[in-house]
Amino acid sequence: MRRALAIVLPVATFLGALPGNAASNDDPFKGTDCKKAQAQMDLNYCADRDFQAQDKALNALYRLLMSKYDVKSQGLLKTAEKTWIAFRDSECTFETASSEGGSIQPMEYSGCLSELTRARIKQLQAQRDCAEGDLTCNGPG
- Tell me the per-residue pLDDT of 31-47, one tens digit each, with 9 for 90 and over: 778 888 898 999 999 99
Number of structural domains in the chain: 1
pLDDT tens column, 72-101: 999 999 999 999 999 999 999 999 999 999
* Any domain includes 32: no
CATH number of the domain at 45, please: 1.20.1270.180
* Any domain includes 26: no
Residue-number span of the structural domain to which 119 is assigned = 39-128
pLDDT on residue 80: 97
8 pLDDT above the threshold of 80: no
pLDDT on residue 56: 98
Return the closest-CA partner of residue 113 out of 61, 65, 62, 44.
44
* Any domain includes 18: no
* Any domain includes 140: no
Contact 95, 33 (CB under 8 A): no
What does DSSP assign to residue 32? -
What does DSSP assign to residue 100? T
Q: Cα dihedral sign for 13, 17, 19, 22?
A: positive
